[in-house]
């Protein structure tokens, strides 16, 4: 990211996409970044005779009592079942729209992800243990605006990961729990097998990753309604195997809570190893830049994106140009701070060119996808 050409995503309209282009990567694998075109680009289911007999009467009574007992048992079971459904619904609602936490690290909020245990393992100091599990905490977040972007420091964006395929950085992603990474669907469109990918967390430079093992991917889930032509629903999840170990340098970002006031026309931050100019290669250092989120009305204006920005997208950057994400940033985070917590607002998706005037970056709207995200995480 720089004052001239920090581009959105690992892809752009014609350059922020994850679509392979001949000769874009050396030898082994095609690049997921297309050459610039005026088209949209994503960056980077018995009657008894005679006198009445006492025995038959008793039998009848026993039958009636039996029926009552059975009916009572069934009623209790139905009541318990209904209660269970209501409790499950309430917890799910709280998980998706509230601030509570659910087992397995699936529900992230300003509190912490749940690891299924109440005590810290190994006799750790409880304060330190809890500190390492909070989401949205940055130990070195930027305190002032960096025009055009700058190099990130350790601990600034601990949820940022680099996704490698064929030994090369192709896209970014964000940690949302020890097991789960969120990225863009277009990043995994070509290389869709989990075996194609390695995930690197806690690193600042690509050189550091060269000498690291990274984490393997056990499963990839792309949104079933992803449209590779318009980049609508451009979102995907990766489940890691084994999970990440949390630390100050490796930590989940918070998913938005229902009612969180992440209004438009507010500042947000983007980060990634994407190129700093259209058509460039990935940067050695993790970089960051501050952008402004705009309304869909603004971004769908004729001179901007002329109606291409859907409800599943957020538009952010600088209408004057000069600050943006670019090729190699696709799938990475756009975060905004509310109080002391950083929230994942967008996932780098596409854009036209990099840092061009009236062509801000387009990001997948995380709030729009919350039900889908939690549904996928609870399936496995």
Residue 142 tokens, joined:
């930027």
* Nearest-angstrom CA–CA distance, 364 and 276: 21
Residue 47 tokens, joined:
């009657």
Terminal C-alpha separation, the chain:
37
Helix (H, G, I), strand (E, B) or coil at 146: coil
Task: Find the catalytic residue in 138, 271, 330, 336.
Answer: 330
Its sign, for the CA torsion 227, 229, 230, 236, is positive
Helix (H, G, I), strand (E, B) or coil at 194: helix
Q: DSSP letters along 253-276, please?
A: PBPPPTT----SS-EEEEEES--S
* Nearest-angstrom CA–CA distance, 161 and 153: 14
Task: Find the catalytic residue in 169, 186, 275, 325.
Answer: 186
Provide φ and ψ at 135, rounded to 5°: -95, 160
Q: Determine whether 48 is exposed, middle or buried from the number of CB atoms within 10 Å of its CB (0-12, 13-18, 19+).
A: exposed
Phi-psi region of 148 (alpha: psi -120 to 50; beta: other; left: phi over 0): left
* Nearest-angstrom CA–CA distance, 2 and 355: 9
Map tokens 């959105």 to a residue.
8
Residue 330 among the catalytic residues: yes
Task: Find the catalytic residue in 234, 275, 325, 349.
Answer: 234
Residue 234 among the catalytic residues: yes
Map tokens 């917890």 to a residue.
91
Structural contact between residues 220 and 238, judged by C-beta atoms closer than 8 angstroms: yes
Q: Which residues of 303-342 are buried (b: 16+ CB within 10 A; e: fewer)?
A: ebbeebbbebbbbbbbbebbbbbbbbbbbbbbbbbbeebb
Q: DSSP letters along 11-60, please?
A: BTBBTB----BTTSSSTTS-BS-PPP-SS--B-------SSPPHHHHHHH
Indicate the angle between helix axes 370-379 and 54-97, nearest 10 degrees: 120
Residue 119 among the catalytic residues: no
Catalytic residue annotation: 186, 234, 330
């Amino acid at each position: 990211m720089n004052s001239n050409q920090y581009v959105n995503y690992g892809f752009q309209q014609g350059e922020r996409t994850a679509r392979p282009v001949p000769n874009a990567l050396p030898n082994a694998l095609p690049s997921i970044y297309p050459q610039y075109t005026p088209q949209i680009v994503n960056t980077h289911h018995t009657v008894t005779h005679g006198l009445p007999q006492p025995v038959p009467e008793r039998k009848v009574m026993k039958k009636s009592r039996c029926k009552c007992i059975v009916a009572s048992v069934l009623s209790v079971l139905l009541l318990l079942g209904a209660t269970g459904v209501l409790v499950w619904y309430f917890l799910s609602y709280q998980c998706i729209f509230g601030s509570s936490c659910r087992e397995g690290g699936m529900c992230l909020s300003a509190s912490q992800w749940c690891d299924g245990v109440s005590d810290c393992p190994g006799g750790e100091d409880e304060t330190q243990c809890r500190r390492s599990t909070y989401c949205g905490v940055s130990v070195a977040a930027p305190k002032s605006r960096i025009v055009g972007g700058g190099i990130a420091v350790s601990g600034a964006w601990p949820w940022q990961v680099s996704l490698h395929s064929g030994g090369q950085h192709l896209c970014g992603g964000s940690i949302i729990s020890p097991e789960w990474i969120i990225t863009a669907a277009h990043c995994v469109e070509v290389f869709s097998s989990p075996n194609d990918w390695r995930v690197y967390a806690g690193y600042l430079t690509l050189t550091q990753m060269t000498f690291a093992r990274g984490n393997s991917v056990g499963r990839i889930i792309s949104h079933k309604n992803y449209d590779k032509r318009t980049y609508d629903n451009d979102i995907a999840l990766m489940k890691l195997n084994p999970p990440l170990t949390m630390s100050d340098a490796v930590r989940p970002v918070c998913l938005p809570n229902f009612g969180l006031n992440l209004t438009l026309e507010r500042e947000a931050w983007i980060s990634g190893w994407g190129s700093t100019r259209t058509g460039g290669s990935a940067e050695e250092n993790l970089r960051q830049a501050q952008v402004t989120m705009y309304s869909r009305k603004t971004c769908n204006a004729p001179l901007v994106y002329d109606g291409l920005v859907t409800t599943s997208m957020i538009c952010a950057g600088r209408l004057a140009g000069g600050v943006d994400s670019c090729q190699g940033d696709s799938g990475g985070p756009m975060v905004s701070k509310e109080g002391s917590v950083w929230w994942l607002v967008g996932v780098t998706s596409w854009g036209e060119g990099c840092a061009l005037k009236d062509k801000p970056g387009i990001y997948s709207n995380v709030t729009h996808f919350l039900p889908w995200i939690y549904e996928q995480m609870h399936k496995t």
